[in-house]
Amino acid sequence: MSAVIETRGLTKRYGGGRPAVDGLDLDVPAGSVFGFLGPNGSGKTTTIRMLLGLVEPTGGTASVLGRPMPRAGRTVLPQVGALIEGPALYGHMSGRDNLARYDAADPTADPRTRRARVGAALERVGLTAAAGRKAKAYSLGMKQRLGLAAALLQPRRLLVLDEPTNGLDPQGMREMRTLVRELAADGTTVFLSSHLLDEIEQVCTHVAVMAQGRLITQGPVAGLAAGARGRLVVTTPDLGDAARLLKELGVTDLVVAEDRVSGEVPDVTAELADLNARLVRGGVRVRGFGVERASLEDAFVALTGEGFDVAG
Integer-rounded Cα radius of gyration of the chain: 24
CB atoms within 10 A of CB 269: 5
Q: What is the CATH number of the domain that holds 281?
A: 3.30.70.100
Same domain, 132 and 216: yes
Of 226, 245, 268, the one marking the end of a domain is 226
Q: Is residue 157 part of a domain?
A: yes
179, HSE (Cβ side, Cα atoms, 13 Å): 21
Same domain, 16 and 102: yes
Same domain, 55 and 160: yes
Size (the chain), residues? 312
Chain segment 272-311, per-residue pLDDT in tens: 788 888 899 899 999 888 877 656 666 666 666 555 443 3
Q: Summarize the confidence of residues 191-197 as an average pLDDT.
A: 82
Same domain, 206 and 89: yes
Same domain, 31 and 66: yes
Same domain, 172 and 247: no
Q: Is residue 86 part of a domain?
A: yes
Q: How many helices (H) and strands (E) does the chain have?
A: 11, 14
Of 172, 198, 226, the one marking the end of a domain is 226
Range of the domain at 134: 3-226
305, HSE (Cβ side, Cα atoms, 13 Å): 3
Give the pLDDT score at 175: 82
> Model pTM?
0.74
Measured CA to CA, the distance from residue 184 to residue 167 in angstroms comes to 23
- Number of structural domains (the chain) is 2
The two beta strands, 189-193 and 33-37, are: parallel
CB atoms within 10 A of CB 176: 23
Chain segment 125-169, per-residue pLDDT in tens: 889 999 999 999 998 888 888 998 999 999 899 999 988 877 778
Chain segment 70-110, per-residue pLDDT in tens: 999 989 998 999 888 777 899 999 999 999 999 998 888 89
